[in-house]
């Protein structure tokens, strides 16, 4: 088990980030929980995990749209225990931008949070990850390959994040492995109606939704078992991308 590893997870206070933090912590890792506004949730998660194993969780706050803050996030994460082995670029911004009405501010926000921040976090962490022969995991989306109607900018950012994964695998190898996870129907958008949800489930080979634990399991696999994988996208979608 990877008991000596330190992992930084962006957007770790809620949803997939929190599930991944719990799972990697249970595997013996020390985790740095990044958050932007969700201080109370991040502190509650820290207290929960510290109750299981003291001195195993640290917090780091920061707006990922502030590029100048990104090296500090990495530096503070590394300083917590004097090392950094894994970067999980989980934080993501998601909302519709129907073509014809997209604003520059929407473009900048989505590109900044979903693509620019992972790149500059990886660049800031490259030296430490190289020393530790660590890895990066980017949380992408099945809509990187199958664009989602009314979400063109979001879909583009995730397609870019796939290419970022492949590019960094080449740039940072052989010391650092860089892979991605593409979730399918795991957690629904808050504004999605039940009819739409059922249509998506019906088009999924396994005819059911996945769980956050499925993504957390994939992350642990990529960290602990996938020593000969780099530049790959692990799709966890119940067969949704088979299409029908």
Task: Look at residue 244 in the predicted model and tell me its pLDDT.
Answer: 56
Residue 1 lies in a domain: no
| Cβ atoms of residues 179 and 235 within 8 Å | no
Catalytic residue among 35, 151, 154, 221: 154
Number of domains in the chain: 1
Q: What is the mean pLDDT of the chain?
A: 94
Q: Does the annotation count 154 as an active-site position?
A: yes
Residue 244 lies in a domain: no
Residue 48 lies in a domain: yes
| Cβ atoms of residues 237 and 183 within 8 Å | yes
- Residue 190, pLDDT above cutoff 80: no
3-state secondary structure of 87: strand
How many angstroms separate the CA atoms of 89 and 120, rounded?
11
Residue 142 lies in a domain: yes
CATH, residue 160: 3.40.50.720
Q: Give the pLDDT confidence of 148-178 residue by residue, as tens digits.
A: 999 999 999 999 999 999 999 999 999 999 9
pLDDT bracket for residue 67 (50, 70, 90): very high
Q: Strand pairing of 57-61 and 86-89? A: unpaired
Pick from 175-179, 207-211, 240-244: least confident: 240-244
Residue 135 lies in a domain: yes
Residue 243 lies in a domain: no
What the block records as the tokens of 203 is 């088009």
Residue 44 lies in a domain: yes
Q: If you average pLDDT over residues 184-188, what whole number do you get?
A: 82
* Longest Cα separation, the chain: 52
- C-alpha torsion 161→167→172→177, nearest 10: 60
Q: Where in the sequence is the domain holding 229, given as residue range(s)?
A: 6-237
Contacts of 116 (CB under 8 A, 6+ apart): 67
- Euclidean distance between the first and final Cα of the chain, in Å? 40
Residue 242 lies in a domain: no
Task: Look at residue 174 in the predicted model and tell me its pLDDT.
Answer: 98
Q: Strand pairing of 30-35 and 6-9? A: parallel
Contacts of 149 (CB under 8 A, 6+ apart): none
């Amino acid at each position: 088990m990877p008991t000596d590893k330190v992992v930084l997870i962006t957007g770790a206070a809620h949803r997939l980030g929190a599930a991944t933090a719990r799972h990697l912590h249970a595997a013996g890792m020390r985790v740095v929980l990044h958050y932007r506004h969700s201080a109370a949730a991040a502190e509650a998660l820290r207290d929960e995990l510290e109750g299981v194993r003291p001195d195993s969780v640290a917090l780091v706050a920061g707006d990922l749209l502030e590029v100048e803050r990104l090296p500090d996030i990495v530096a503070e994460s590394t300083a917590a225990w004097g090392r950094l082995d894994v970067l999980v670029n989980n934080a993501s911004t998601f909302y519709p931008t129907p073509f014809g009405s997209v604003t520059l501010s929407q473009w900048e926000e989505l590109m900044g949070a979903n693509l620019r921040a992972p790149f500059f976090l990886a660049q800031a962490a490259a030296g430490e990850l190289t020393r530790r022969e660590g890895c990066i995991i980017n949380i992408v989306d099945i809509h990187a390959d199958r664009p989602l109607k009314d979400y063109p900018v979001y879909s583009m950012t995730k397609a870019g994040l796939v290419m970022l994964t492949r590019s960094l695998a080449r740039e940072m190898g052989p010391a650092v492995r860089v892979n991605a996870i593409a979730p399918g129907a795991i957690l629904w958008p808050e504004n999605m109606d039940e009819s739409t949800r059922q249509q998506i489930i019906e088009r999924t080979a396994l005819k059911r939704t996945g769980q956050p634990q499925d993504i957390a399991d994939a992350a642990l696999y990529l960290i602990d078992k996938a020593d000969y994988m780099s530049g790959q996208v692990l799709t966890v979608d119940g067969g949704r991308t088979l299409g029908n």
